[in-house]
Amino acid sequence: MKLIFEKGSTGRGCDLLPPSDVPVINLEDKFKRQSKLNLPNVSETELSRHYTELMKKTFGVNDGFYPLGSCTMKYNPKINDDMAKLPGFTDIHPLQSEETTQGALEVMALAEEYLCEITGMDNMSFQPAAGAHGEFTGLQLIKAYHEKRGDSKRDKIIVPDSAHGTNPASAAMVGYKVINVPSTNEGYVDVDALRDAVGEDTAGFMLTNPNTLGLFEANILEITNIIHQAGGLNYYDGANLNAIMGIARPGDMGFDVVHLNLHKTFSTPHGGGGPGSGPVGCKLLLSDYLPSPRVIKGAEGSYHLSYDNPDSIGRVKAFYGNFLVVVRALTYILSLGKEGLKHASINAVLNANYMMHQLKDTYHIPFSDHCMHEFIISLEDLKKEKGVSALDVAKAMLDYGMHPPTMYFPLNVPEALMVEPTETESKETLDEAVRVYKKIYEEVTSNPELAHGYPRNTVIGRPDEVGAARNPVLRYVYNK
């Protein structure tokens, strides 16, 4: 496929800019661009066809089953986008005066109230732009808390090996030393090892729950208690709240700070890498450190932005975060309601368990008693016995019009495939997926030599992933 710069012809264009409604200013030469601006020279027809061609080459939730584990690729109701494109939300400027943006401030205040209720937290900031950014922000709160108390020897964050990979990375970015605690054979935090790991140098503990094995942590109250006893704080990675919303709350489990991924659980499409939102909620003991400004509801019912937060860790993003993602999340919460949210989680867990139990006699499923919203297949034996890898099986799924599950994650399960069907898939879709997964298993075991040739029916086969990672070509070079 040609790039848009390689299409069309010089002089062609489709700019339909309205006449300027502001005075035209003559700029000094030094501010003017010295070389020609390279823009595509295409007509509207060519432009439209270009994007349609691109669209057909990709695969999204609107194309078919997309069970990408740890990503919650659920169907996002279109009403969210109807709300997010209301001119009252899209046509405002972040620097507008508060009297003129009361509606937008109310959206943030309401979303904060509901999400605090859902997580059991007291306050929340919507500034972080993604989950990992939320982790970074939440850990800064923990750091600020210890510093304010003059407790400077706490320089370690404890992270179980079943945590999401971003957890240790975020802790390291904040400047903490990361202490790993192992999991038991059943896939839960080894509580004895945790007891040995805590001490006067423990700043905090990060728990991904459900963990990356798809399991609800077994001894949470004991774990959070051990950390609190040692003077540390508890961080809850709530990116995968899809499994528990409306049913269990991190705030009731002894957690002091939590981040959510609105672009997963609270239904913003996120296939293309953004925009996201990783709000951070915390208990009162950390509220003073939250990013500034904060939205405050005044006694007379109006909203304002408070910049008077001397203990705040400061800004982590321009203005108030990705506001329209918050509009979508609030729409989702209001349209589902308390019972609807709970129902979504129950069905997410039910769908994952249904699929897992249908597949467990065919594939090796290391933790197969029950799972939360996702489950893991290990193809270690298949790899050893037949030379067929998780990648081969994943590529085969593409031929059946299904997106493969997450591959090679979590790291502590060899040849892992991580399947998260989500609540928005019907029983028929799950049954069809089960049929395809079983058929592929049969194909690759009876003809292992053919397994490396998948996919056979897609526009793109197997791109050179190593080449793309090692030598990324991210910029188009003109006139080469």
Ligand X SMILES: *Cc1c(COP(=O)(O)O)cnc(C)c1O
User: SS3 for 378?
Assistant: strand
Q: Identify which of residues 163 and 388 has a Cβ nearer to ligand X in the complex.
A: 163
Q: Counting Cβ atoms within 10 Å, is residue 361 exposed (0-12), middle (13-18) or buried (19+)?
A: exposed
Interacting residues with ligand X between 234 and 273 (CB under 6 A): 237, 239-240, 261
Q: What does the per-residue mask of binding to ligand X show for 42-71, with x meaning CB under 6 A?
A: ----------------------------x-
Q: Give the separation between CA 217 and CA 161, rounded to whole angstroms.
A: 13
Residue from 208, 224, 331, 351 that binds ligand X (CB under 6 A)? Answer: 208
Residues 375-394 touching ligand X, rule: CB under 6 A, are none
Minimum distance between the CB of residue 322 and ligand X, rounded to whole angstroms? 11
Is position 132 an interface residue for ligand X (rule: CB under 6 A)? yes
Q: Which stretch binds ligand X (CB under 6 A): 29-37, 111-119, 126-134, 244-252?
A: 126-134
- Judged by CB under 6 A, the stretch of 128-136, 338-346, 437-445, 449-457 that binds ligand X is 128-136
Query: CB of 69 within 8 A of CB of 215?
Result: no
CB of 321 to ligand X, least distance (A): 13
- The answer to whether 325 contacts ligand X (rule: CB under 6 A) is no
For the bound state, the minimum distance from the C-beta of residue 279 to ligand X, rounded and expressed in Å, comes to: 11
Q: Read off the tokens for 368.
A: 């197969």
Lay out the site mask for ligand X across 71-90 (x = CB under 6 A, - = otherwise).
--------------------
Contact pattern for ligand X over residues 271 through 290, marking x by CB under 6 A = -----x-x------------
Q: What are phi and psi of 417, to 5 degrees?
A: -125, 130
Per CB under 6 A, 406 contacts ligand X: no
Closer CB to ligand X, residue 400 or residue 408? 408
Q: Which residue's CB is nearer to ligand X, number 251 or number 276?
A: 276
Q: Decide if residue 166 touches ligand X (CB under 6 A).
A: yes
Please report how close the Cβ of residue 90 comes to ligand X at its closest, in angstroms: 23
DSSP state of 84: H
Among all residues, whose Cβ is closest to ligand X? Answer: 131
Residue 8 or 238 having the CB closest to ligand X? 238
Alpha helices in 29-165 (DSSP H): 44-56, 78-84, 87-90, 102-119, 131-148
3-state secondary structure of 172: helix
**Per residue, what are the HEC states of 292-361?**
CCEEEECCCCCEEEECCCCCCCCCCCCCCCCHHHHHHHHHHHHHHHHHHHHHHHHHHHHHHHHHHHHHCC
Q: Does 119 bind ligand X (CB under 6 A)?
A: no
Between 224 and 277, CB nearer to ligand X:
277
| Binding test (CB under 6 A) with ligand X, winner from 130, 139, 233, 336 | 130
CB of 304 to ligand X, least distance (A): 29
Q: Is 405 in the site for ligand X (CB under 6 A)?
A: no
| DSSP summary character for residue 170 | H
**292 is a site residue for ligand X (CB under 6 A):** no
By C-beta, is 199 or 271 nearer to ligand X? 271
Cβ neighbors of 198 (< 8 A, separation 6 or more) are 158, 226, 227, 229, 230, 232
Q: How far apart are CA 315 and CA 309, in angstroms?
A: 11
Footprint of ligand X on 209-238 (CB under 6 A): 237
Instruction: Return the bridge partners of 181, or none.
Output: 160
The Cα-based distances of 1 to 7, 209, 406 in angstroms read: 10, 42, 27
- Residue 206 φ then ψ, to 5°: -115, 125
Nearer residue to ligand X within complex by CB, 239 or 382 = 239
Comparing CA positions, the residue from 245, 291, 236 lying closest to residue 267 is: 245
**# residues near ligand X by CB under 6 A:** 13
Q: In this complex, which beta carbon is closest to ligand X, that of residue 135 or of residue 288?
A: 135
Among 230, 264, 227, 217, smallest CA distance to 245 is for 264
Judged by the rule CB under 6 A, the positions of this chain that interact with ligand X are 70, 130-132, 164, 166, 208, 237, 239-240, 261, 276, 278
